[in-house]
Every structure is written in C-alpha cells, then in structure tokens.
Amino acid sequence: MLKQILLVMLVVSSAQFVQAATPPIEGAFGIKLGDEPDAKYIPEQIPTKLGLLYFIDPPIKNEHFNEYAVLVTIRTNKIFRIYAEKEQTTETCKNELAKVRKSLEKIYGKVTENESIYSVKQNEKEIQLTCKVSKINNKEASLQIKYIDQQVYKDGLESSSSKRNDASGL
C-alpha cells in the first residue's frame, strides 16, 4: 500500500513538473501578445474588420518566414495576433511545415491537427500553423503561422458601460 501511495505521489509530481516545464504562449519573433505596437509600425497600418494590421520588421526573424505582421485591437491598441508567412512551392512548404511543427512540439508539447491546421492551445492563447496551397496554382503555397490571444481580443471589444453618467469637464 505504501509503495502505491509513493508511486502515485511520484506520478503526480512528475506530471506537475512536465506541465510547469511547458512555457506559456506569450508571443513570437521578439513581439509579445498584449503589448502595444512599436511606434515605428504606425505609418504601415491597414484597417481591417478585426483591428489594425501592421506589416513589420520583427526584432527576431526566423528562417522559415520572410513576411511578418501584427493585428492590434482598435479600442485598446493591444497586439492580439502575430502573423508570419513565406511563399514557396507546395512541396517545400510541406517540408518546412514539418520542421516548424517539430520545433513547436519541442517547445510547447503536443501539436494537434484539424483540417490541415496544426495548433497548440493554452487557455485563451493559441498557435496555428498551416501550409496554405494556392487556389490558382496548386504548385504554389504559403507557410503561415499565427499566434493568437483571444482574451486580448475580447478585452478590446468591450465597450464603455452605457450606465456611465459622468458630465465632469463638459
């Protein structure tokens, strides 16, 4: 009986260690989800339905990608998505996807697949990786990765309370 208790305690503590060793999804390419965009991004902004899109030159680049962007909430001005991609042949894209997926598994653990989108989820944060094949020419594709913070996005959607009745300074 004592051996079983000790074994259970060992398994539980090992599971906690493994869970604690997995780093949280905080961002990528030297950019942190939830931060305000760098002031140098301002001239490059493009309004979208979700927020403001900035094409950027990130502090840290990755050999698998050559185009980078962030999506920022309009109301709170916080980064809730980080994008990177690289156009290439479909065959090369699939090979590169396998390399990036392996790297994500080493960092974050299990990567799941659903309809050719590989993802890592941690509460409100997620990484999505895909090889998007061109609809015009199936020999061309784009390796794409997204880091998403749904909570930052949701916080950016909340509007001011309609019950406010502050007339000071008017």
Asked whether residue 166 is domain-assigned, the answer is: no
Query: How would you classify residue 159: left for phi > 0, otherwise alpha for psi between -120 and 50, otherwise beta?
Result: beta
Asked whether residue 170 is domain-assigned, the answer is: no
pLDDT of residue 19: 52
Write down the pTM of the prediction.
0.80
Q: Is the pLDDT of residue 8 over 50?
A: no
Work out the burial of residue 7: count CB atoms within 10 Å of its CB; fewer than 13 is exposed, 13-18 middle, 19 or more buried: exposed
Q: Is the pLDDT of residue 24 over 90?
A: yes
| 98: containing domain | 24-157
| List of residues 6+ apart from 9 with CB closer than 8 A | none
Domain count, the chain: 1
